[in-house]
Structures are given as structure tokens and as C-alpha cells.
Amino acid sequence: MADVVIFRLTVRVDPVDEWGMHPFSCRWLSVLGLSLGLVWGPVGRGAPGEIGVSVSAGAFDRREAIVSLEVPQGWAAFTQAQAPNGPAVPFQVGADGRGWFVAPKLAKGATETFYLKGALPSSVATNRVTVERRNMDLALAITGRGEVCVYRAAPTPLPRADIKAVFQRGGYLHPLFSPSGKTLTDDYPANHLHHHGVWVAWPRTEFEARQPNFWEMGVGTGTVLPLGIAEVTEGPVWGGFVARHRFVDLSASPPKPVLNETWLVRLYSLGQAGRAYYLFDLTFTQSCAGLSPLKLPEYRYGGLGVRGNWAWNGRDNASFLTSEGETDRVKGNTSRSRWCAMSGNLDGQPASIAVLSHPGNFRAPQPMRLHPDEPFLCFAPTQAGEFSITPAEPLVAHYRLVLFDGPPDRAELDRLWNDFAFPPTATISMP
């Protein structure tokens, strides 16, 4: 029989940061015991010695809700979470020390305890998130479902001979796919060669009395260089990567680094309980590469950009829907929105991309640029006036992207935004 040492542990969980990008606040009030051997009871109930995670839905009904919390060392041995009379679901501990699982369903105001156990039963199918290196790229996929997106980890080959070398760049996502396999994004489109799937850049800037342009690559005064992959994660709950980029002022002699940028991308294994979708998070952090700040004057676009499939070109070939219910892309331009969806027909059937902006983002709800004739949207905080990225104050932004077939459903996107903005809270309960 396994030895059992019973102890009491109280943890205060700070739910504000589900990203793993900032310090976690916890307080160990009492710990008695030096080792723990767990005696597993019947599947589906909390037996003596089982560790529980209590999940509170808060103000919203939850379905396939992402649950994340800081966990003690050694918890990687737990690979499943199960509520009484509920299905076993995968439990994953990341390199950041956070535990993750997906709560299948939880009613508004309800709290349910999920008990952590060892290996998942062989009868429980898992759709693992994989990250495959293809030459210099990373392909993210969900087993049993398909490829979701590709990260371009190096400057990409130019797709057409007439494109000048100055336009070449890497450090972006393309293509993005719908669950049925339709390509949702474009790269180097003929009418905007500097658009690349999902990317981040700034057009109008001031740096040491110069004006490097990191958006319009053809100007030749600025560029964004991918520096490499810092971390790759695969797992049954999420998989993704950490990548590093550098914004370089080409108008300086010699060229001078301006910003260091870190991308954290997490693709989650969910989107099957109801209408199918893919969902991933993109968090970027931009910090000064030296002692000089980067000033960003007021301008109509800049920041996170999304370029839709070439088939959506033309005013009548793409549709937009904002969280405020606006479908007129001209009226939606410059409006502030919690989320925005862009859609159009591909092979005769509609497909969509939605971008959800976190309420903790700078100037949230952020104003948007919606192009009047092309499939392009951008959350652009510079529309609300100038600001600066300084050595003392980096810029951190969180976005969640949802990829799906068919037109957007406003109620469903509101539900997903609520999960993103106000995730369920979780606390640890020990025997």
C-alpha cells in the first residue's frame, strides 16, 4: 500500500494573468508533510488522497472553457482531471508551471471540483496539439482534425519574380485554415505586398530623430527580423511556441535595433462541442532594444494586422461584423470594438476569421482599421493618439483568434470573448 502523508495547503490564485507571461501571486499558508503518495479511488469521485481543482464559472455559462492556474512542482504526473459523474479530460502542466485543462460545461454561478489523476484511460480519445518543424517554419495542428496555421520563422521566399527583395520578411502566421481546410489568409497580395497573414508592425514612427517605417517594407527604412524560436510545446490541452523578433531601423547607419518583440502563441485543443472552430492566443511583448524610446504618432493603422484570402478582395466579397453589431465596414472603420470578424466565400462556401481583443490591452476597447475594399482588419491603438514604447514601459497585447467555416455568429463570439476576458477562476483543494 502506498504511504500517505496528509497535509493542509492553502493557495490564493490570482486569476488576472492566464498567460504565463507575468509573475504569479500565491501564498503558501501552511504546509505539513514532506512527501505524498496518493491512493486512487474510483474514477469519477473524490476519493481520500485525491487533489481537487475547484472551478467557478462566475457571471457566464461556460462550454469548453479553458482553465489555468499555477500549480506546485511535481504535478506533471497528473494527466487527467475529472468532475464527479463527468468525463475525464486531459490535464497538462506547461514549462511555465501552470496547469491547464478544458472544463466541458459549467453553468453561470456554479462551482465544480475536478479531481486530478494519473494516466488517462485508454478509452479517452485526445486530440493532441502538435508543432512540426518544416525547414524554418512551424506547422501547428490538432491530431484527428487538421492543420491550423503555420508560423514563418525566417524571411519567406518571394512568391513572384516581380516582388523586390526589400519586401521579404518573416515572423508572421500564414496560412491559417478553417476546420474544413480552407485557407483564410493571404501573403504578399499584389495590392499590398507588405501584408502577411497575421503580423505585427508600426508604420509611422519616430526614433532618434528618424522615421523608420516597419509596416510598408517597400519604403526601405525599417524591417522586422525573426531571431528564432525560444520554446516549443506540444500537448493534449494546448501546444504552441515562443518566438523572438527584432525591429530594425534601416535609415540609421549602420542599421540600429529599435524593439525586441516576443510572440507567445497557444493553440488549444477545443472547438468540437457544437459548431466546429479553431482557437489560438497570440500575445506579443515589445520592449526597447536600447535606451531610446519609440514614439508612435497618431495614425489610422498599425499594430496587429490580419489579411484575408485574395478571393475576398473587392467591397462586395468580404463581410465584417463587430462586437457592437456593425456590418458596414465603412462605419466600422475607426470604431472601438471588443472583437471583429471578417468573412467571405471560399469555393462557394462562407468561412471566417474573428479577432478578439483582451480588455486589458492598451486603450481597450481598441479602435480598428477596416479597409473599404480589401480583406484587411487591424486593431490600431494609434488611432486614439500618439504614445511611446519606452525602456521603462514595454507594450504587451493579448489577442485570441477564432477560425471557422460559415458566417460569424454574434452570440457565439460574445461567449468566446467572455471566456477570454473573464475566464473561470480556479483554486486548489488538497486532502
pLDDT tens for residues 71-125? 998 898 999 999 988 899 999 999 989 999 999 999 999 999 999 998 877 666 6
Q: Cell digits for 318?
A: 468580404
Q: pTM, whole model, 2 decimals?
A: 0.89
Would 297 be classed as within a structural domain?
A: yes
Which residue in the block uniquely carries the three cell numbers 517597400?
A: 218
Q: Are 289 and 249 in contact (CB under 8 A)?
A: no
Q: How many domains does the chain have?
A: 1
Average pLDDT over residues 374-383: 99
Would 206 be classed as within a structural domain?
A: yes
Using CA atoms of 319, 322, 325, 331 in order, give the dihedral in degrees to the nearest 10: -70
Could you give the percent of the chain with pLDDT greater than 70? Answer: 87
The DSSP 8-state label assigned to residue 424 in this structure reads P
Would 110 be classed as within a structural domain?
A: no
The DSSP 8-state label assigned to residue 251 in this structure reads T
The DSSP 8-state label assigned to residue 430 in this structure reads -
Q: Which residue has the higher pLDDT, 95 or 296?
A: 296
Would 426 be classed as within a structural domain?
A: no
Task: Say what the pLDDT of residue 47 is.
Answer: 53
Would 109 be classed as within a structural domain?
A: no
Average pLDDT over residues 344-362: 98
Would 50 be classed as within a structural domain?
A: no
Report the run of H or E that residue 357 belongs to, with start and end.
Answer: strand 349-357
Is the model's pLDDT at 37 over the cut of 80?
no
Task: Say what the pLDDT of residue 119 is.
Answer: 80
- The range of the structural domain enclosing residue 234 comes to 129-421
Report the run of H or E that residue 258 belongs to, with start and end.
Answer: strand 256-268
Would 311 be classed as within a structural domain?
A: yes
Collect contacts of 133-138 with beta carbons under 8 A, ≥24 apart.
Answer: 136/170, 138/229, 138/232, 138/241
Would 121 be classed as within a structural domain?
A: no
**Mean model confidence pLDDT for the chain:** 89
Task: Say what the pLDDT of residue 36 is.
Answer: 29
Phi/psi at 415 (5° precision): -60, -45
What CATH number is given to the structural domain containing 236? 2.70.98
> Of 60, 50, 59, 62, which is closest to residue 103 (Cα–Cα)?
62
